[in-house]
Amino acid sequence: MSKTFIYLAFVLFGLSLTACAQKHTHRKSTKPVAMQGICGIVVVKRGNYMPSPTTTLSNPNGSPVERDVLIFPLLNITQVEPGENGFINSVGEAKPIQTIKSGKDGKFCVNLPVGQYSVLVREPKGLYANLSDTHNNIFPVSVKANQSVMITVAITHQAVF
């Protein structure tokens, strides 16, 4: 073999090691982070949450769940067809700005422009949101410049409070 070929093989081998090292040192974090937007956790609560001196809950904060999280422009109850127990039968012409799936740990994060949004989750029975403000806006979240808003989406239609 020629010296040039051996030298070239060593150079290519060295470059591939360098590329491998860079690839492993610059891995993206698996933890979702939004620089500006909404981050949170989706939890489900089931059972009796009524105060009682004899009953203790095994998981009072709920259990994290994997769900589709839909981010809409701010929705008001007058714009949708509400169902029972926090379900929404129809959102009319409204379209989600983003749909993201929470992880098995319930966590999600989405980057969004500054603005007002409604957060809904997709349940087997349909879209669900159990919060509203004094103006009847559905699960309102306000995103401000360079801030990430942390929220908890609690699915409570199978719980008693």
Give the per-residue pLDDT at 62: 77
With beta carbons less than 8 A apart as the criterion, state whether 77 and 136 touch.
Answer: yes
At 139 the pLDDT is 96
pTM metric for this prediction:
0.71
Taking only the tens place, the pLDDT of each residue in 86-98 is: 889 999 899 999 9
Pairing mode, if any, of strands 148-160 and 37-48? parallel
134-161, pLDDT tens digit by residue? 999 999 999 999 999 999 998 876 655 5
pLDDT value for 20: 43
| Domain 37-160, CATH number (from 2.60.40.10, 1.10.10.10, 3.20.140.10, 3.30.70.2340) | 2.60.40.10
